Structure 1
Amino acid sequence: MIPQERTLAAAGFIMLYAAVIGFTDNYVRVIADEAGLWQFHLTRSVMALAILGVVGLALRLRLRPVSTQAVVARSAIHGMAMLIYFGALAFLPVAQVAAGLFTAPIFVLLISRFVYGERIGPLRVLAVLVGFAGVVLVLGPEATAGGTVAAALPVLAGLLYATGNIATRAWCARESAGTLLGGFFIALGLLGAAGLGVLALVPVAAPPGADGFVMRGYVAPSQDFLFWTFVQAAGSLFGVGMMIRAYQVASATRVSVFEYVILPFSAIWGWLLWSERLSPLAAAGMALIVLAGVVITVGARAPAPVPAPGE
């Protein structure tokens, strides 16, 4: 086991991961202006798998799964989480969507307790309540008033992402990170192809711009679409690589806490690129989510870490 004193190095790797993912995800709205969610995922997956194949050959990475059934099941769950996550990015600020996705540790705790019967202490129960309050504040009054479905989508993505993380530990402990990353992009690519197929058979009149992101079928790709989709593919692979390295140099418990830095990074990039500002309530809610996640993660027993892919 690699010594614990490299915790600062792990923090640096996670900072790189958060900075890259926070930046690339902000440009999904640019892609959404002209192309659709399904075409984006298919194109991005083809690009990412091509990059992974080249890197895998160069570094002689093991990409063949130990258990194909387990990898397929886990990839399908995480694929659906990211499908919803990227769909929500077309309608909501990145910081808000990221906050919903990072409710995953709260759902991990709840699933572990009520599905697997794991005992949890009162402090962690309190953390769940604090985290839920944070979600309500970040998502805003439209979510609690039932104004839009889009406002609740990030939380659904967080639930699926949590389920996928549990599947990672329970079913895929012997799989390599490269195998799980490849399975993830294959799942998203198949989902994208399926969506394009359905829209080709049953065309839907998609509104112009980001409003038609989910309903839009195939369109002739522009240079901007190909460029930003490639940036997304390369950024995801790089970000996951940094996350894997972080888990190699420090304990999983500490690294999991560092992952929450993506919340402020998403907000910072949203401010720098689009002049988006968080309301005081949203900022307070984000702080509560981070606090809840830290309490839950630190209070948990250290699992065998298998880094999950971000998006």
Structure 2
Amino acid sequence: MMYTAPQTRPVAAALSMIGAMGIIGLIDIYVAVIAQTISVWQFLLVRMLLAAPLVLLLSALGFGTVRPRRFGEVAGRSLLIALGMFCYFSALAFMPIALALAGLFTSPIFVLLITAFVLGQRIGPWRIAAVAVGFLGILVVLGPSGGSLGWIIVMPVLGGLLYASGVVATRALCEGESTLTLLLGIFLAQGALGAVMLSALTVIQPEVGAGGMAFLTRGWVWPIDAALPYLLIQVLGAVVGVGLLNKAYQLGEASHVAVFEYAVMIFGPVFGWWLLGQTITWAQGVGIVLIALAGVIIALRSANQ
């Protein structure tokens, strides 16, 4: 029987991705609200406790297995992405979501660099130019306009590097693993990271800093009534958003669908400004546009070396 390639539905794929990015752009702005009452470690642990049952329920309903084929590879990939998301979530307590997203969305640049220098694959002039444009954008965002944030401005970029390493590990080590396996792996790794750090903070009992630093240094807080509604929004939004994201890649060509991921760099800042009054400078805006442009070039040229 002759094999027939699955038919692509580019409009449906684009709408699914835009929907996913709209949800993610909305829910992530509330991490800054959650940061006012609990720590990032408790956020990661409670997020796992709320999300894991939903993923297991989806598996029980027949949406895929959660049993990994290669436990070590899935665990390593999950830890890389969990650390990357920790950097991103932590940054949201210190800066507008626009800046944190700009740092996280350097990940396509780092994927390209890892692919070239670690895996030894050739990249063409367009993607080399995209790397240059992207790093120029990073320098603009990290320059004088972001200098008031000190070392913390580097955290979302570090998140982008770690997330990119997880993406490369997904492609190289986790082929054939189900979406639910990979999703549950991330939540479990985040929860384990949160539990370990909460235990360490209980022993060390550091002084809780002011502002965003409290998000990093608080121990376990109970009750969490003030944060719970936003945690539920985060978890439900994350599961639905990731589901739409995966559906988008099933419906359309990956290199075309990936471009629409950058819609989150519109949704996030708009929601942050509208609902939380967050603002960015013109210089930071230029840097964000340059990073987004680099990612779009990489996505469009991914099929051409």
Tell me by how many angstroms 1:147 deviates. 6.0
* AA partner of residue 258 (structure 1): F
* AA partner of residue 217 (structure 1): G
Q: Would you say 1:196 and 2:198 are equivalent positions? A: yes
**Please, which runs of 5 or more residues in structure 1 have no aligned partner?**
303-311
Report what 1:131 is aligned to: 134
Report what 2:6 is aligned to: 2
Report what 1:20 is aligned to: 23
Contact 1:134 1:286 in 2 (8 A): yes
Distance 2:115 2:140 in 1: 25
* AA partner of residue 296 (structure 2): V
User: What is the number of residues matched between the two proteins?
Assistant: 300
Report what 2:89 is aligned to: 86
* AA partner of residue 89 (structure 2): F
Contact 2:81 2:186 in 1 (8 A): yes
Q: Secondary structure at the match of 1:149?
A: helix
In the TM superposition, what whole-angstrom CA distance separates every residue of 1:177-218 from its partner, at most 9, and x where no partner exists?
Answer: 100000000000000000100001110110244331100001
- Pairwise mapping of residues 1-311 of structure 1 onto structure 2 (< 5 A)? 1-4=5-8, 6-141=9-144, 148-301=150-303
Distance 2:63 2:238 in 1: 20
TM-score by length of 1: 0.92
Distance 2:268 2:86 in 1: 18
In the TM superposition, what whole-angstrom CA distance separates every residue of 1:214-248 from its partner, at most 9, and x where no partner exists?
Answer: 00001113222121111111111111000011011
Contact 1:81 1:161 in 2 (8 A): yes
Report what 1:306 is aligned to: none
**Please, which runs of 5 or more residues in structure 2 have no aligned partner?**
none
In the TM superposition, what whole-angstrom CA distance separates every residue of 1:94-144 from its partner, at most 9, and x where no partner exists?
Answer: 11101110011101111111111111122211111111111222334265x
Tell me by how many angstroms 1:287 deviates. 1.5
Tell me by how many angstroms 1:19 deviates. 1.0
Indicate how the Cα distance of structure 1 residues 147 and 34 shifts in structure 2: closer, same or farther if over 3 A, else same.
closer
Distance 1:231 1:215 in 2: 24
Indicate how the Cα distance of structure 1 residues 60 and 253 shifts in structure 2: closer, same or farther if over 3 A, else same.
closer
Contact 1:7 1:249 in 2 (8 A): yes
* AA partner of residue 262 (structure 2): Y
Q: Secondary structure at the match of 1:148?
A: helix
Contact 2:84 2:163 in 1 (8 A): yes
Distance 1:133 1:55 in 2: 42
Tell me by how many angstroms 1:81 deviates. 0.4
| Identity between Structure 1 and Structure 2 (%) | 41
Distance 1:265 1:137 in 2: 21
* AA partner of residue 39 (structure 2): G
Moved more, 223-232 or 241-250: 223-232
